Structure 1
């Protein structure tokens, strides 16, 4: 009886093995639940997510169901440079949607309100109107590379997005006094270089009673109606549950009518984080704002200060603001972070005060702009300063 000779299985070429591995991995991803696939696609840009439609018949329309639209680059530029192509792409993506849109990010670096050379405002108005009528948008980010009179004037339809929880507006403006509908679910608001009046700002904040995070970053020249004045009391009455606050120091004169610190009628019991940008210890308005806020925030956990060039301000020598903090006790403060510290006397006195009043302070981070020969003396002073906690002081 003749024995049968067993033939060896054919070995696949390297290219075929790689192709087979890709098919297997693709099949594994395809079998994942739709929510997980959507999460993966949301990590891609719109352009990359749309390209997954060529993978297979099953993948052709998966990208149209993701709840997030991001027409921007991670480094802050729009993903489609040509204006006409960007407008076409946005309308095309919106028309192909097969599910609700929850997040929208749009960065436009050639905005032109009249549409002569860049992205026209009428097109953007139409896009926002479509979103407000057809989708439960929760997060909206509108960011423009625009200056002067070309800033985008927000349409009232923005405030018809009743599902909003997170709103970022960059280089936008209000050239009217809109009657806002209440955005009761809004928890995070960032206004970056916008043009707005104090009256409109306070009205916007008052119609967002759930706001926990608020950033106001703008120049005083951006104030519409510069004769308007307010107070810190009026500001914080509109922020009853604020936890995370970032303010540009230049706008502190809006809310500080005089340089005598006055206690707020109610404490900011929810505030845990405060960041003061472009701060100067020679600016009386900024010092008053800082002193009142610190004294009124018993549960503050972290303070960040970005110090501005002191030569830009007239020297303010009054110690009223420091005396205002003499009885304060920062029981919950854990961290102090100061950037562009120049070792001027009022700056150093502030650090000393924090060290002496914060029993739970764990870390003080100071980024200096002093000359090399001044550093040893500054470090010596800081290390000898009395403190009420075993705090780590990091000076760079």
Structure 2
């Protein structure tokens, strides 16, 4: 039989250019480079890829050989033509030589880079980013880890940068305030690995989202100056250095509470984790802030219920958000006494609910719910619930100020008594169900290590 003429054609070379580009964009960079052997027309198709991503998709044989990996990245950049819109190195062990990374950074900085992601692994020394980075006028997204930023040139700025993610990054010769001030249209900022080595002063009129994780000292300056558009804030910080702190100590005549929260007028979601509520230990805590969070719909707080100050700050924030729809409380962080877990069972004494006598009933009696209510709050979640008296009093307080409440879900642990017998979780649920509430449709759910408890369960 004679072969038809269609069998003589090179079908793979006849694929339209836009489809070839789509195919290559869905491959890892290593697989894309390998397509050069398919045909003469495909030999140089990959060299114009706008996104170069080097991560675990390269394969173990390449990832586990540092020199081979470095040569591969060198070869890709050497043969590449056209703009590099996105350059990403993620979780790869790069040879501990700054000259190698400098060469790559210099190459991408000259090729109209828009998104730069440099997720390095921890080395003996942080990699110091080149000053040429500030000349990348098209850069809109910058994400770096285990790096050092030195003081930039006098007039340098990231005029197009909209998102900035910093993980374990050191600033030398300048502060976070200086860095942020050089990003005039910054919308998203994440600082992971924040320490007490610098203050956190945010002056960013376009900022919409902020996430900060790490450690801070109680005497540090943390301040929001000009953030009218800031809608999402997460401050997950472990605070230390409380020794010798004077009560009612103010910075620049302003309480810390107002410096941190006073200008956040556009907040829609706020999360405060770690023991950061303890940061305001020197303040006289009012019942509510002078500014009201009218737009705040979701509030997450981590509160130690053996700490009167943390409770007071938490209540102040709750009262300052009259339009809350959802409230989530982690009630078990930083418990001052030892709790032992055996197979997800909380082992403690049967009189644990009588602990923390310094937070007595009188404190909760003055938290009068009649003068304030959360008329829009529908959903409450409380985790790490031990059934201690201050926690029960807090639940009781919430039930008196939430006329629209639909569900409160409480997540606790299984307990054993003094004789080592497993206690019936329904006793805690029964105590919760007996609490008065203003919402006739409010449901109370109690979980022990993820299992729903019902009344009468044995």
Does TM, normalized by the shorter one, top 0.5?
Answer: yes
The separation in 2 between residues aligned to 1:107 and 1:334, in whole angstroms, is 40
Q: What's the counterpart of residue 380 of structure 2?
A: 336
- The answer to whether structure 1 residue 317 and structure 2 residue 359 are counterparts is yes
CA shift, 1:283, in A, is 0.5
Q: 1:288 and 1:81, CA in 2 relative to 1: closer, same or farther beyond 3 A? A: same
Give deviations 1:190-235, integer Å, cap 9, x for gaps: 1211446766421xx2133322222222222279x96764342333
Q: How far 1:298 sits from its partner (Å)?
A: 0.4
Describe how 1:214-233 pairs up with structure 2 within 5 A.
214-221=233-240, 229=250, 230-233=255-258
Alignment of 1:95-114 (within 5 A): 95-96=107-108, 98-101=111-114, 103-110=115-122
Query: By percentage of residues, which structure has more helix?
Result: 1
| Secondary structure, aligned partner of 2:275 | helix
1:167 Cα deviation from its structure 2 partner: 0.8
For the structure 1 residues 376 and 217, does the alpha-carbon distance in structure 2 shift closer, same or farther, using more than 3 Å as the test? same
**Is 1:340–1:368's contact at 8 Å kept on the other side of the alignment?**
yes
Instruction: Between 157-166 and 129-138, report the one with greater CA deviation.
Output: 129-138
- Distance in 2, matches of 1:231 and 1:360, equals 33
User: Any residues of structure 2 matched to 1:238-253 within 5 Å, and which?
Assistant: 238-248=263-273, 250-253=275-278
2:202 and 2:227 in contact (8 A); partners too? no
RMSD: 4.0
Structure 2: 5+ residue runs without aligned partners? Answer: 36-41, 52-82, 137-155, 339-354, 416-421, 451-458
| Aligned 8 A contact 1:107 1:142 in 2 | no
1:350 paired residue number: 394
State TM-score, norm by structure 1: 0.72
Provide the rounded CA distance (Å) in 2 between the counterparts of 1:197 and 1:163. 30
CA, structure 1 residues 181+325, in 2 after alignment: closer, same or farther (shift >3 Å)? closer
Shift of 1:285: 0.9
Secondary structure of residue in 2 paired with 1:330: coil
Where 1:170 maps in the other structure, the secondary structure is strand
Question: Deviation string for 1:23-48 (max 9, x for gaps)?
Answer: 8999674366xxxx99x77xx9xxx4
Instruction: For residue 62 of structure 1, report the CA deviation from its aligned partner.
Output: 2.0
Q: Which residue of 2 aligns with 1:165?
A: 187
- Per the alignment, do residues 389 and 58 of structure 1 end up closer, same or farther by CA in structure 2, a change over 3 Å counting? farther
Q: Which residue of 2 aligns with 1:361?
A: 405
Q: 1:385 to 1:194 in 2, by over 3 A?
A: closer
> Given that residues 100 and 135 in structure 1 are in contact (C-alpha distance below 8 angstroms), is that contact kept between their aligned partners in structure 2?
no
Contact between 2:373 and 2:402, CA under 8 Å: does it hold in 1? yes
**1 or 2, which has the higher strand percentage?**
2
Change (3 A) 1:11 1:281: same
Aligned to 1:81: 93
The within-5 A match list for 1:37-76 is: 48-49=28-29, 52-55=32-35, 56=42, 57-64=44-51, 67-72=85-90
Alignment deviations for residues 118-156 of structure 1 (CA, whole Å, 9 cap, x no partner):
324xx1364764556467221111112xxxxxx723645
CA–CA distance in structure 2, aligned partners of residues 86 and 304 of structure 1: 45
